[in-house]
Structure 1
């Protein structure tokens, strides 16, 4: 199925393009639909679980604004899979493919340039070969091979083709614009980190500076000794995601108890959510457990 040629052409024009794209496949084992915004998958649905699964944090927030969203999406995807199953059955009958495993694929979506230009496409493939596509200019279906019989049975009066043309040129563009707005709001939000300092036990040589609950992802943790930045004996751990879409990060300072008593150490956290640095004195750290028993 040569569904990528259209997209490759658009990318090669070097125009800023935003895309909303859906991929659907009907197979004997499982049927599924995925949605992508600018190449990032944001939603998934398959016939086994019959639930719409959000894949990004920003799409989850839509349900708070539009409570009916998930119900509508689930019903719409279920109906689409039923329609495609009907088309697959017609194709199997048309080609007299009574044996073997056969699949139907669909790729459709819309594109919006920064200058306001819009485009849409709706393409089907059968067993990996081009099958049917929508001519957006005429609002009619065209087939890779003469298949008048299947077109007559599937969309006899052309109403579905006209509905798809309206969807791609209007509703899809409205959804694309709306999704871009939700994503932009989610990506531009800034949440201050919650910070803490601790040692696992009083004799541990490791002091941990931990920041969590922050967004966006970029955050810097550094250490100072008597006001001077420390680079040695520091282990900066990778940034990890939290379940709510925020992030956490920690840095470990390797230091002896004698040095802690002799010098003043601080952990400094920098994040875009605040113009001021978070400065945590090591002297105020929490000790999670008492002195470790070396005989255990």
Structure 2
């Protein structure tokens, strides 16, 4: 019986590990492309049109109608796309200037002041998994409020503001429908496939991991495992106790978030009851750049927040120094005045 239990536990462990490996492969093959268009204008004229393109939360290109040029942020992307495709994209953006100007004029025609500035935005996003399109959406936003959106898989515009429902026939018309489908297929999905199929957007970087232990005011033990600075974004953090995986308390996750340098951040916390000692816990981190899972033990004693204390001490020291300097200067001035008299 004991040997059967060990065998079942061994088999379950391997199935769990294989499942996690499959999950990592799926995540690594998943990519997202987001295009953000912002137009500012009055009833009479378009003042500005800007566009920014992101792939996997990394800015890859931008456009502004001031110079009508596409600015590629990562040099090798120009080689991956080719001059002809980039030029086609630039011509499409130039054509969009007229389309956005017309949209602003239509939506602002009831204004009493035709010189008022208005902002119209279009957000388009698409996702692929192993090269296959799985999602794509478009959102139309006026003055910061979403008016329409469409799920390309459904193919029907959803009206979110009743007062502009009368314009839906325009969006459903053949011209705008064909333009929408062309853009999403050619300039969102196919462009995404072309770029991610050519090279990685940046060098792979392993995570920097810190593990800490705190006690909250209620006396509950909070274990925290933070991984930051890693790329690609596929990563797995989990808690072990005495070498065994399991659910040991209330787990919360920040979700994978982007850093300013295009790397990623993830924090996993575990809250356990005060009757447990909190010893024997480790944070296990898996990432493509680590080659094998890395194990980080939780400190035996609560982590002391030294940086915050040190900051307070430094601030108080500076205040004291400035006060003393001010008092010395005032005393010096009084002494000079007494000498003069």
Q: TM-score, normalised by structure 2?
A: 0.44
User: SS in structure 1 opposite 2:53?
Assistant: strand
Other-structure match for 1:23: 36
**SS state at 2:50 partner:** strand
Distance 1:94-1:157 versus aligned 2 partners, 3 A rule: farther
Taking the aligned partners of 2:77 and 2:187, their CA distance within structure 1 comes to 18
User: Partners of 2:64 and 2:98 in 1: how far apart?
Assistant: 12
> Per-residue displacement from partner, 1:162-205 (whole Å, max 9, x unpaired)?
542465357632221111022339859xxxxxxxxxxxxxxxxx
Corresponding residue for residue 87 of structure 1: 103
Unpaired runs of at least 5, structure 2: 1-22, 42-46, 205-341
Structure with greater helix percent: 2
Which runs of 5 or more structure 1 residues have no equivalent in the other structure? Answer: 1-12, 189-296
Query: Do the aligned partners of 2:131 and 2:193 also contact (CA within 8 Å) in 1?
Result: no
CA 1:179–1:132 in 2, change beyond 3 Å: closer, same or farther? same
2:324 is aligned to none
Match of 1:48 among 39, 48, 66: 66
Quote the offset at 1:48 in angstroms. 0.5
Instruction: Pick one of 45, 51, 56 that aligns with 1:33.
Output: 51
Question: In angstroms, what is the RMSD of aligned CA positions?
Answer: 3.1
How far off is 1:59 after superposition?
A: 1.4
Report what 1:161 is aligned to: 177
Distance of 1:108 and 1:128 partners within structure 2: 16
Matched ranges for 1:19-168 at <5 A: 19-28=32-41, 29-62=47-80, 66-93=82-109, 98=114, 100-114=116-130, 116=132, 118-146=134-162, 147-152=164-169, 154-155=170-171, 157-165=173-181, 167-168=183-184
TM-score (norm 1): 0.51
Q: Give the Cα separation in 2 of the matches to 1:186 and 1:171.
A: 21
**Using the alignment, how far apart are the partners of 2:189 and 2:87 within structure 1?**
21
1:47 Cα shift?
Answer: 0.8
CA distance in 2, matches of 1:148, 1:76: 27
CA deviations on 1:74-119 (whole Å, 9 max, x unpaired) are 1011112321221121111257674532100111021113594610
Q: 1:85 to 1:108 in 2, by over 3 A?
A: same
Contact 2:126 2:133 in 1 (8 A): no
Query: 1:36 and 1:143 mapped to 2: Cα distance?
Result: 26
